[in-house]
Amino acid sequence: MKPLHIMLALLLLGGGGQQRSAQQEVAFQDSVAALQRHREFQAMQAEQAQRAQEDSTRRMRAREAVARDRAVLRAVREEHERWRRCVLVITKDSLSNGEPSMETASSDEVRARCGDPR
């Protein structure tokens, strides 16, 4: 047992049927108040731990979403680069910026061999 609990038990049991003195009553009320404060503190700590866990989970999910978005963007860019190279090989078109024109890219032959640019 903790010292505070022992003191409380002694105060409660030690008095028997007798009235407590004013000093004993103050000590008893102080110990009851200390127990209440301790319980409130423990409840507050539990709430803080729960919030910290939720924040951690939320941050982890956000990091995972960013990683997924980056992977999708990378896949789109890679697909566009594959398509661009395919069109350039078919048309042997070497524009200054390296991008095939939409007229060239939308021809039936290019679509059949390289896919749709969209």
Helices (H) and strands (E) in the chain, counts: 4, 0
Residue 11 located in a structural domain: no
Residue 89 located in a structural domain: yes
How confident is the model at residue 10, as a pLDDT?
Answer: 66
How confident is the model at residue 53, as a pLDDT?
Answer: 96
Residue 15 located in a structural domain: no
Confidence (pTM): 0.50
Residue 3 located in a structural domain: no
Residue 31 located in a structural domain: yes
Residue 66 located in a structural domain: yes
Please identify every stretch of the chain with a pLDDT value under 50, giving residue numbers as ranges.
none
Is 100 within 8 Å of 94 (Cβ atoms)?
no
Helices 3-14 and 22-91: crossing angle in degrees, nearest 10, is: 150
Residue 13 located in a structural domain: no
Q: 36 lies in which domain range?
A: 23-114
Q: How many domains does the chain have?
A: 1
